[in-house]
Structure 1
Amino acid sequence: MAQPNSPPSAFFAICLLHSAVATICGALIMFYLNEIAAFGHGRETARKLQGSTPHDQLLIQTSDSFAGLLLVAIGFLLFMVAFIEDRDFQAFFAKGCVLLHASMALWRIFFERRLEDLAGDWPRQLVGDIVLSLSWVLFLVYSWREKYD
């Protein structure tokens, strides 16, 4: 068990970083989707992503709001998990996060790049998935080094 005044662990720092990213992105998606889409994809693509009929627009806005809410919930979950000090759980959780980010990267490679309107954005998002996954891999390498040294 860690001492009350001990410095935060790498797991704690990574969880807080990922928590902040997920929460901020989720809030931006829920409340500023049009501005974020125009900034990330360009105005023309953002307009296409909004839908063409009022019914489509409502479905897309509802879906995007739920996606943003899910990201906020994931951010809070990561914040709570950051305070768990069990090394076995931390390693298990980090492996799950690597698998999740790798799955997202594969999704972008095999499916998202085929979407005409999003074809220009998938490489940048793929780099983001790889960087997020790499942070967990580095934590695993660091924790294995501590365990076996």
Structure 2
Amino acid sequence: MVFYSKEICVLGHGPKTASKLQGSTPHDQLLIQTSDSFSGLLLFTIGFLVFMVACVKDWEFQSFFAKGCVFLHISMAVWRFYFGRKLEDLAHDWPRHAVGDIALATSWLFFLVYLWREKYD
């Protein structure tokens, strides 16, 4: 993600929007690259956290974690609906991203249903 940020941006948003999102001055480009680096670090940390939670055998804690993830993904979808669509450069992408957030929340809901079924069977 960090090494091919321009190509990924073109793939996700198209060439016209990608050129706008890359920044027009060297200072803007440095800020965007720093932000991308922190985003990559955040994704690694979240993946490591999910891996650690997967190793925990406490069903109550996993249920609590899954509920938090559902809340997080629904919050992101709501944020994209209210604020993401107002950015003119990203306005055409928000429905796809919001559907992705809702799909991720649904996957965590399926996990909660599985935990509930295992608990009460």
TM-score, length basis structure 1: 0.77
1:52 to 2:24 alignment: yes
Q: Deviations over 1:76-111 (max 9, x none)?
A: 111122111110001000001001111111110010
Q: Larger relative contact order (C-alpha < 8 A, sep ≥ 6)?
A: 1
1:135 to 2:107 alignment: yes
Name the % identity: 70
Q: Measure the CA separation in 1 of the matches of 2:70 and 2:52.
A: 19
Q: Which amino acid aligns with 1:114?
A: K
| Structure 1 partner of 2:87 | 115
Cα offset for 1:145?
Answer: 2.3
TM-score, length basis structure 2: 0.94
Runs of 4+ in structure 1 deviating by more than 4 angstroms, as ranges, are none
| Structure 1 partner of 2:74 | 102
Q: Deviations over 1:18-77 (max 9, x none)?
A: xxxxxxxxxx2x222111100010011011001111111111111111112111111111
Counterpart secondary structure, 2:17: helix
Q: 1:1-80, aligned counterparts within 5 Å?
A: 28=1, 30-80=2-52
Q: Which moved more, 1:66-75 or 1:40-49?
A: 66-75
Equivalent pairs, count: 121
Q: Measure the CA separation in 1 of the matches of 2:3 and 2:68.
A: 29
Match of 1:87 among 40, 51, 59: 59
Structure 1 unaligned blocks of 5 or more: 1-27
Q: Measure the CA separation in 2 of the matches of 1:80 and 1:87.
A: 14
Q: Which amino acid aligns with 1:51?
A: G
Q: Measure the CA separation in 2 of the matches of 1:51 and 1:95.
A: 37
Q: Which amino acid aligns with 1:55?
A: H
